[in-house]
Amino acid sequence: MPEITLVEAVNLALARAMADDATVLVLGEDVGVDGGVFRATNGLLKRFGKERVLDTPLAENVIAGMSVGLAAQGFRPVAEIQFSGFIYPTIDQLANHASRLRTRTRGRLTCPMVVRSPSGGGIRAVEHHSESPEAMFAHIPGLRVVVPSSPARAYGLLLAAIRDPDPVVFLEPTRLYRASREEVDDDGMALPLDRCFVLREGTDITLVTWGATTKEVLAAADTLAAEGVSAEVIDVATLKPLDTDGVLESVAKTGRCVIVHEAPVTCGVGAEIAARIAERGLVSLLAPIERVAGWDTVMPLYRLEQQYLPSEARILAAVRRVLAYQ
């Protein structure tokens, strides 16, 4: 199996889905001739033709609206939004149409579409190119929200998202696009949605994360292991619907939990996870839950970007506070 990057895994999954199913279309700004701003759709136009790889106007609401119409008529559109800072116009179509189509038609129609977009900071881009808006989409009933954290999970989860009968928002961590390589078998096998992945087993504390911060959390777990602390690392992957049972099972084993995410802390998905642990797993807790997250501010530019993003040092500090609690 070749070792590929996360963005190459996205490209591989798109090509596999299109080869397996003639109803799968790719559309968005510059996805065809230019192959996408991050090259995620590179080569697809040449392979599948202009009727299945569509360059669109610079109009995100139109891209989402076209996708809703295509999905309602039997296609499986995969729409690319160039940066998550430009994704907000799609909320109109996603909240008012895509997420409601199944209930609006009493099951007669579904909306099998995917909106995928680079997400998050860490690449020294301007503020509108560094957003982490996952909580906005997770709040919309009827949407799935998926965030991969490795090439293999990007491949398998994107295939699952494309094959799902309902709309999925697929946010790809920009700083992981080319951060590492991993063996990925182009076997067409999807990974399960709505389920956490245990990346590392442990007994002393549960570290819950997703997306780009998985890298820092795993590094923190390595540091803790050298100190004799056994940390279990949970990659949530599907933020909506959330695999609450998977998180609770881990917390029941360890008794302690730190939640790490890049988006602003207030009303983030981490708050929802903490609430569910408090509601259903309170008796398992030996210490208060802590969250390590982005700050409640617009992503600062360049020099301060690394101060905004959760770091290994911030994660370790939170873990040590939780472990020290008596």
Find out whether 32 and 45 touch, Cβ atoms under 8 Å: yes
My answer on whether 149 and 18 are in the same domain is yes
My answer on whether 66 and 176 are in the same domain is yes
Number of structural domains in the chain: 2
My answer on whether 144 and 205 are in the same domain is no
**pTM score over 0.75:** yes
Please pick, among 97, 129, 139, 261, the residue that the annotation labels catalytic.
129
Name the domain boundary from 122, 156, 183.
183
Q: What's 303's domain CATH number? A: 3.40.50.920
My answer on whether 47 and 178 are in the same domain is yes
For 18-73, what is each residue's pLDDT tens digit? 999 999 999 999 999 999 999 999 999 999 999 999 999 999 999 999 999 999 99
pLDDT at residue number 56: 97
> What sign for the dihedral angle of Cα 221, 131, 31, 93?
positive
Name the domain boundary from 183, 208, 232.
183
My answer on whether 214 and 168 are in the same domain is no
CA dist 271 to 80, 131, 154, 289, Å?
A: 28, 18, 25, 10
What is the SS3 assignment for 58? Answer: coil
Residues of the chain falling short of pLDDT 50: none
Asked, for residue 265, whether it belongs to a domain, the answer is yes
What does the mean pLDDT of the chain come to? 96
Name the domain boundary from 183, 212, 241.
183
**Cα atoms in the Cβ-side hemisphere of radius 13 Å centred on 105:** 11
pLDDT at residue number 1: 79
pLDDT at residue number 266: 97
My answer on whether 59 and 167 are in the same domain is yes
Asked, for residue 190, whether it belongs to a domain, the answer is no
Residue 149: give the domain boundaries. 3-183
My answer on whether 33 and 151 are in the same domain is yes
Asked, for residue 189, whether it belongs to a domain, the answer is no
CA dist 120 to 20, 84, 211, Å?
A: 31, 8, 9
Q: What's 91's domain CATH number? A: 3.40.50.970
Q: How far is CA 29 from the centre of its chain?
A: 21
Q: Is 97 a residue of the active site? A: no
pLDDT at residue number 293: 98
86: buried, middle or exposed (CB in 10 Å: 19+, 13-18, 0-12)?
Answer: middle
My answer on whether 300 and 154 are in the same domain is no
DSSP state of 131: -
- How would you list the strands of the sheet with 290-294, edge to edge? 197-200, 231-235, 205-209, 257-264, 290-294
What is the SS3 assignment for 172? Answer: strand
Q: How far apart are CA 44 and CA 42, in angstroms?
A: 6
> What sign for the dihedral angle of Cα 86, 91, 97, 98?
positive
Q: How far apart are CA 161 and CA 121, in angstroms?
A: 24
My answer on whether 22 and 169 are in the same domain is yes
User: What are residue 78's DSSP bridge partners?
Assistant: 26, 114
